Amino acid sequence: MKKTEQFGVHLLFDGYNCDTTKLADKEHLTKFLVELPKEMNMHTIAPEVVVEVGEMNEKDPGGISGFVMIAESHISFHTFPKRGFVTADVYTCQNEFDHDTFTEYLSKTFDTNDYDANVIARGVRYPNTNA
């Protein structure tokens, strides 16, 4: 039986009652994807992508989605300005990271104090040797 170790950590962030102007500001959101990896000593490996998404259905009144690939994995978000809501995630292959600092950064970026944040261990049976 192969020995295993955890592969990484996934932070899931849901922000409520956010600043609707920030949620709709493509420039602000692009800057977030450029700056967050630098702030957290992560390494961007592809240009960030930020796109406006129109209304999809009654549940989804449209907003902005963004993504950046980092060597450690990815950072993404989906904003819903008409609802004052954002969902974001940071997935890293680092086994530990300062999720409180990440959560504070996300809270400031979207200007909310009302959020849910969950940290999930990923790849908890990741083999520590090659196949």
pLDDT at 4: 57
| Residue ranges of domains in the chain, CATH in brackets | 8-122 (3.60.90.10)
Query: Do 126 and 58 meet the contact criterion of CB atoms below 8 Å apart?
Result: no
pLDDT at 55: 83
Instruction: Report the alpha-carbon distance of residue 127 to residue 64 in Å, rounded.
Output: 37
Q: pLDDT by residue (tens digit) across 7-55?
A: 999 999 999 999 999 999 999 999 999 999 998 899 999 999 999 998 8
Q: Is the pLDDT of residue 1 over 80?
A: no
Interior angle at CA 73, CA 16 and CA 14, nearest 5: 10
**Least confidently predicted of 5-9, 22-26, 67-71, 121-125:** 5-9
Mean pLDDT of the chain: 92
Instruction: Report the alpha-carbon distance of residue 33 to residue 51 in Å, rounded.
Output: 13
pLDDT at 118: 97
Q: How confident is the model at residue 3 (pLDDT cuts 50, 70, 90)?
A: low
Arithmetic mean of pLDDT, 110-130: 93
Q: pLDDT by residue (tens digit) across 75-95?
A: 999 999 999 999 999 999 987
pLDDT at 97: 80
Active site residues: 73, 78, 93
pLDDT at 56: 82
Q: How confident is the model at residue 59 (pLDDT cuts 50, 70, 90)?
A: confident
